[in-house]
Structure 1
């Protein structure tokens, strides 16, 4: 595809490759390491949150409670922006070793932390490693897998976010219940060590060489500030305070984009800002899909308060969106015809918004088991919208540039968009829940209807991404 053409290319084979080809002897090692890197980062977004009350009871430092998620997400965003530069300097295997090493050291620091500030330092190191691994998971697909497996590879990578959202709270809650929160971090360190040992054997050393682009300090600072502002907004008391925090974050995000457009030192590839380019619409659609997953922050609460579910069952109920996301990608990634792929990219946001709309209409006070049985598939339907579109949008971003360096940058930015959108979504969810006042039913409806409207914007951006507009 020419770099100045906005049309999204169809690079899929005439016949879809089987999953067995991706997970067969030739590519299994690379696929497992790439997937594990994304998974450990996704699991640890919520793993520590589930265990933090237990950790605070032992370490103290309750005033630092809210910084656990904020520092982790900010560190992740920073690291995802450095992926393409790490690949140029250290190559695929070297960059992965650094990512797993950072995550391992951070996990051990958390496990051994004598005080809450030390735990937060460990979380920062974990976030840096997780962000680097998440970005590498998408960027290294270009060199580790043949082009015909890109869609399958992207489906596997993005499914790891869904699996992580499902497993993180459950795993953290399990370890916390038995008072063994430190062992959870030891387990994560062990996973990182095992993957790190496998890296030199299964990943290519390619991607290394060429001049390393200067670090976009201003752009990264603005993005970091926006992520921090929206993360803090999510835990501020009061709806107005949260709304103000989100407004500040949006202003910082606008400043980030304005600087990126006119600067030679960018986080996103130049094609993102080129007139007529589809890439900006691809990223916006990916962002709105990732934004929708944030309802899971409050769905367990609604399950407990409206349906009387026990905490463990409510936690699994809250992961229904992620479950739908992960399962749907198994079938979605088989699509190869250009018309079908385009249809999936536009149908995904429709199902996501429709699922939230229907779920909002189904909310009831003192809901019976019958209502709960209906709620689960509806949330899975919403998540399936993400699964339909996400892998194909990811491939579209990866294939948006003929230049290899810009292609790596475009692929790595998928993780940046996903992480920032998750942070923004969590904060917006907090504001919408606050609008319900003292009514849990009102809060549930504000959240679900609000997300239905916001995620429906993805229909517009997906159509814009598919529109062929010559530059």
Structure 2
């Protein structure tokens, strides 16, 4: 008889509406901010200068965001659910106010760093509280909704940023973000359950892991901003070496960012996280799709921007449908099929690239992008829940949930650098750059099928061992 997992309904999730809105809203403001700021920066530079520090905006924000996701456990243990969320929204609001009032680019960078700390904390808290604040049968629905906020943010952010930039109101955009954050913070005490603080004291800071990740994110962000292929490759190699050092330090250390089972032999958790990386990294191609739409397809900027967000739209929409799957066999198939669909979609899109492409061919990009994005949405909520369920106790489970945010934010940084490298390798021809980028990411994302299969095999072996152990205990008691 086929096993089923308990999946609550959207109506049941609606009974936790206050909690869900806070969790989803916290992720959404950070996701919107990334793409909104990218649209606003040219206007800001024209007013306050600092063009040499342009690329530093992304580096500072992403580094601070990753660091904050790694400190979610410590923050929860000291401040509890409500205090942690108030801190996250507060940091994001203060950072937005600093950005809105910045007289120079260095001040803007400070604001971006504070924003990143708040956004990272809110993202990590979102996944951690899905684990602790919702019943297990609602984990898939909650994870799907929160993950969909990344896709929605990628879709809404550029549109809002372009609108504010059109009227030269980049400062007003940051002020609106600060106001939105303050409104959500006001609802936190009523919406969230109290608790989360650990009586045994604060969780220690994983200092070594923290420094290694900061170095890796910094190296990959610098790589993404460089134009020379050789130098870019050196910085990516440095980043990978630092990630390898992070894994060694985590495996040997007593204080970890990732849950303990990640490093145990026969655990599926490491393969689940790696599959999440290979799925999420595919979103990096969105940065260049508007450029290809304009130069190869002759699209106006507004239409080209919509094509750039189509991948995220497919991601967001498909997660809502995917979260209804409850048969274990179906869930396993979705986790494996997701990376394959994403890779296939990007490969087909590469084949559709042409110089001076006719309009019907350009319009065919849209359904391909939506299907490719659906690959992320089909698999992501089930991968997130599998990671949460892969920890042996509540403390490790919360760490496993919060680590999803760390993995996602690091994927964003690495994906941006790899995308920049592939585009440069394909240059100077825009057509060659487009094909190099899309085919490269198609292969990278499709390899997630292999990691998902590995995770499923290990999980099934663990279930067999547990079933045999329970049968042995039952037989022993019957004697």
- Superposition TM-score tier, normalisation by shorter sequence: over 0.9
Shift of 1:106: 0.3
Shift of 1:211: 2.9
Question: Which residue of 2 is the match for residue 226 of structure 1?
Answer: 216
Q: For 2:314 and 2:141, locate their aligned partners in 1 and report how far apart those are by CA, in whole Å.
A: 17
**Residues 246-261 of structure 1: pairs in structure 2 closer than 5 A:** 246-261=236-251
1:267-287 Cα distance to aligned partner (Å, 9 max, x none): 101110010000000000001
Alpha carbons 1:71, 1:123 under 8 Å: kept: yes
1:325-371 Cα distance to aligned partner (Å, 9 max, x none): 00101110000111111111001011011001111111111011101
The runs of at least 4 aligned residues of structure 1 exceeding 3 Å deviation read none
Q: For 2:221 and 2:300, locate their aligned partners in 1 and report how far apart those are by CA, in whole Å.
A: 28
SS of the residue aligned with 1:319?
Answer: helix
Equivalent position to 1:376, from 344, 361, 366 = 366
SS of the residue aligned with 1:281?
Answer: helix
Are positions 1:19 and 2:19 aligned together? no
Question: Which residue of 1 is the match for residue 103 of structure 2?
Answer: 114
Are positions 1:93 and 2:86 aligned together? no
- How high is the TM-score relative to the length of structure 2? 0.94
Question: Which 5+ residue runs of structure 1 have no aligned equivalent?
Answer: 1-9
SS of the residue aligned with 1:307?
Answer: coil
- Greater alpha carbon shift after TM alignment, 445-454 vs 235-244: 235-244
SS of the residue aligned with 1:309?
Answer: coil
Shift of 1:17: 2.7
- Structure 1's 11 and 38: CA in aligned 2 closer, same or farther, altered over 3 A? farther
Shift of 1:11: 8.1
Are positions 1:47 and 2:36 aligned together? yes
Question: Which 5+ residue runs of structure 2 have no aligned equivalent?
Answer: 466-479
1:198-234 Cα distance to aligned partner (Å, 9 max, x none): 0000101122123322101111000011011101110
- How high is the TM-score relative to the length of structure 1? 0.96
**Residues 65-464 of structure 1: pairs in structure 2 closer than 5 A:** 65-209=54-198, 210-464=200-454
Q: For 1:173 and 1:322, locate their aligned partners in 2 and report how far apart those are by CA, in whole Å.
A: 17
Q: For 1:469 and 1:272, locate their aligned partners in 2 and report how far apart those are by CA, in whole Å.
A: 16
Q: For 2:320 and 2:145, locate their aligned partners in 1 and report how far apart those are by CA, in whole Å.
A: 8
Alpha carbons 2:40, 2:170 under 8 Å: kept: yes
- Largest Rg, 1 or 2: 2
1:14-52 Cα distance to aligned partner (Å, 9 max, x none): xx43222212xx311111110000011111112111100
Q: For 1:122 and 1:145, locate their aligned partners in 2 and report how far apart those are by CA, in whole Å.
A: 33
SS of the residue aligned with 1:237?
Answer: coil
Aligned-residue Cα RMSD (Å) equals 1.1
Shift of 1:457: 1.2
Q: How many residues align?
A: 458
Q: For 1:67 and 1:52, locate their aligned partners in 2 and report how far apart those are by CA, in whole Å.
A: 11
Alpha carbons 1:432, 1:447 under 8 Å: kept: yes
- Greater alpha carbon shift after TM alignment, 191-200 vs 460-469: 460-469
Q: For 1:180 and 1:344, locate their aligned partners in 2 and report how far apart those are by CA, in whole Å.
A: 43
Q: For 1:376 and 1:241, locate their aligned partners in 2 and report how far apart those are by CA, in whole Å.
A: 35
Alpha carbons 1:143, 1:206 under 8 Å: kept: no
Alpha carbons 2:209, 2:246 under 8 Å: kept: yes
Q: For 2:446 and 2:145, locate their aligned partners in 1 and report how far apart those are by CA, in whole Å.
A: 25
- Greater alpha carbon shift after TM alignment, 397-406 vs 355-364: 397-406
Alpha carbons 1:143, 1:204 under 8 Å: kept: no
